[in-house]
Amino acid sequence: MPTEASLKQFYGKVNDFKDQILRLLRRLSGKKLVDREGHPLDIEEEIASLNKGYDKLMMAKAINELEPIKAMYENGIMPMIEPILLRDEVFFLDGLDGRVPGAYEEILQDLPSNITDFLFLHQVRIIWSHLDLIEDKAVKAILWAHIQIFCLLAEKVLSQIDPYYYNIFATTKQQLIDSGRLS
C-alpha cells in the first residue's frame, strides 16, 4: 500500500498545480481570448470548470484514494510520457505544428470526462495557447515542472502497489537520452 505521506504529497501537488492554473487564468481575465475555432472564451467559466474538476477529483479521492491516481496515470499520463519528458508543446497544442496531428485530441476523446477534468487539461491548453499575453517567460517552465513532478509522484504512489509502474518515467527518459532526443 502507498504510504500516507506519498498520497498526501501527490494530492498536495495536484492542489498546487490547480492553484497555478487558477493564477494564470486570472492573469488572462479581462483579455479578449478566443478558442481554436475563434469563439470567445469566458475565463470565469474556465475557472468554474477547473474548480468543478478539482471537486470531482476530491470526491473520487474520498471514495478511493488510489483509483483517481491510477486512472490519471494510465489514461492521461502514460500515453503522453515522451512529449511530457521532452517538454514538447504538442502535449498542449495538439500537433498544430504537424508533428503528431490529432494524437492528443484522440487521447482526450477516448478518456472519460472525469479524467480530463482531473488533469485540468482543457484549462492548461487555454493558458498555453495564450501565454504571449501573460508576458512571463518562466510560465512555461513552471507548468512543465508542475506536470513532471505531478507525473513522478503518481508513479511513486502506484509503484508502491504494483511494480509495473516502477521507473516508467526514468526508463523512458533514458531511452530518449540514448536515442539523442533528450539531453
Which pLDDT does position 122 carry in this prediction?
A: 67
Angle at 178 between CA 173 and CA 179, to 5 degrees: 100
Which pLDDT does position 119 carry in this prediction?
A: 64
pLDDT digits (tens, 9 = 90+) for 122-171: 677 777 878 777 777 788 888 889 889 989 999 999 999 999 999 999 99
* Amino acid making up residue 82: E
Q: H/E element holding 107?
A: helix 103-110
pLDDT digits (tens, 9 = 90+) for 90-132: 777 654 444 443 444 555 555 555 555 666 766 777 778 787 7
Name, in order, each residue with C-beta under 8 angstroms of 46's C-beta and a sequence gap of 6 or more.
Answer: 25, 122, 123, 126
Q: At what angle do helices 43-63 and 121-129 cross, to 10 degrees?
A: 150
Which pLDDT does position 152 carry in this prediction?
A: 93
Question: Please, are residues 54 and 151 in contact by the beta-carbon 8 Å criterion?
Answer: no
Give the chain's count of helices (H) and strands (E).
11, 0
Which pLDDT does position 41 carry in this prediction?
A: 86
Name, in order, each residue with C-beta under 8 angstroms of 59's C-beta and a sequence gap of 6 or more.
Answer: none
* pLDDT for residue 174 is more than 60: yes
134 burial via Cβ count (<10 Å: 0-12, 13-18, 19+): middle
CA dist 143 and 25 (Å) reads 13
Q: Which position has the grid cell 513522478? A: 152
Other C-beta atoms lying within 10 Å of the C-beta of residue 155: 22
Q: H/E element holding 18?
A: helix 4-28
C-alpha cell at 123: 484549462
